Amino acid sequence: MLPTAKIGPYTLPNPLIVAPMAGVTDRPFRLLCRRMGAGLAVSEMVIADSKLWHTRKSQTRMNHEGEPEPRSVQIAGGDPEMLANAAKLNAEFGAQIIDINMGCPAKKVCNKAAGSALMKDEALVRDILEAVVAAVDIPVTLKMRTGWDREHRNAPLIARMAEDAGIQALAIHGRTRADAYKGEAEYDTIADVKSRVSIPVFANGDINSPEQAQHVLKFTGADGLLIGRGAQGRPWIFREILHFLETGKHLAEPPVDEVEQVLSEHLDALHRFYGETMGVRIARKHVGWYLQSHDEDKQFRKRFNAIDDAMAQKDSIQQYFAGLRNGEVFAA
């Protein structure tokens, strides 16, 4: 039985959400995951300082053309006024949900007192939540970690603060800031938060199989799941999890032909979205993720990463899959 996932006035088609990941969840990837069964895809983090929005990176991150509703945009920063302004401007540009980032453990973000670094300063957290909620008339959600480190798991406290401030839903990654992505995610804190608030809570962290998805939903009582790294190179994970949760049965792995088609279409979309030079570069990491289970010695990836022409990338992928179907082993 699938939980019903709601964020403000929006009822999502299902409770599986693509977690925002900087440098990954761009528009081509979000659209692909939605097509593969995700109920919502949150944009990459947009920096709160609007003076930096003229950059190419920010422009592409704020492009939501053709995306299904509701469109959720994540903002990051450490200044309440700047975040409130960023929320307002993104709402004007078409965002229907604003997500505040207090979950990113990256040094680049944390050293600037943003992302999960904010969890250390509870008074500032309150100011940010209240400022952003007051600035827009669309739902505001919060993504955070379980705490700053294992001695300071303050997610339950911040969750209650968020509910009081008018936050409409919470997403919690089952690690602390100090854990980064090491070790295993823990779900006790998420279950604790869920028992203390009445707004929807979404669980995140290490959800990379249908069984794990079912376990986390049962264990935490969460209203839904955020799936991030588990979807890299495997966008069909959403339909696999949905099928398992609805029927208790496993969906067959996608055949090689479908993997090739999905990858080729993704490649095309990246080239179109970013233009050839950037598109070719960005495609490399995605192709690496898709081929993790096939190209175990990474010989093909080394060759692919040396290609700097869009057409040659497409030809290379075509040849790779033709070889895969013929049972060839790939040498460099």
* pLDDT, tens digit (0-9, with 9 covering 90-100), for 208-234: 999 999 999 999 999 999 999 999 999
Residue 299 to residue 295: CA distance in whole angstroms: 7
The verdict on whether 110 is a catalytic residue reads: no
Q: What is the mean pLDDT of residues 174-194?
A: 88
Q: What is the mean pLDDT of residues 270-280?
A: 94
Render the burial of 117-132: b for 16+ CB within 10 Å, e for the rest: bbbbeeebbbbbbbbb
Q: What is the mean pLDDT of residues 250-278?
A: 94
Residue 161 to residue 156: CA distance in whole angstroms: 9
pLDDT at 331: 39
Choosing from 18, 32, 104, 201, the catalytic residue is 104
| DSSP H stretches of helix in 111-154 | 122-135
Closest C-alpha to 25, from 286, 314, 313: 286
Q: Are 206 and 212 in contact (CB under 8 A)?
A: yes
Backbone φ and ψ for 191, nearest 5 degrees, come out as -65, -40
Closest C-alpha to 321, from 286, 295, 296, 285: 295
Domains of the chain: residue spans and CATH: 6-247 (3.20.20.70), 256-325 (1.10.1200)
CA–CA distances in Å: residue 209 to residues 19, 35, 59, 234, 241:
15, 19, 34, 11, 7
pLDDT at 299: 86
pLDDT at 110: 45
Q: Are 119 and 102 in contact (CB under 8 A)?
A: yes
Higher pLDDT, 62 or 179: 179
pLDDT at 332: 28
Measured distance between the N- and C-terminal CA atoms of the chain, rounded to whole angstroms: 48
Return the ∠ at Cα 82 (arms to 80 and 87), rounded to 5°.
95
Q: Are 125 and 158 in contact (CB under 8 A)?
A: yes
Backbone φ and ψ for 83, nearest 5 degrees, come out as -65, -40
Could you write out the DSSP letters of every residue in 204-225? ESS--SHHHHHHHHHHH--SEE
Residue 141 to residue 8: CA distance in whole angstroms: 9
- The answer, yes or no, to whether residue 163 has pLDDT greater than 70, is yes
Higher pLDDT, 119 or 320: 320
At 195, which helix (H) or strand (E)? helix 188-196
Q: What is the mean pLDDT of residues 185-202?
A: 96
Q: What is the mean pLDDT of residues 273-282?
A: 94
Peptide bond into 70 cis (omega under 30): yes
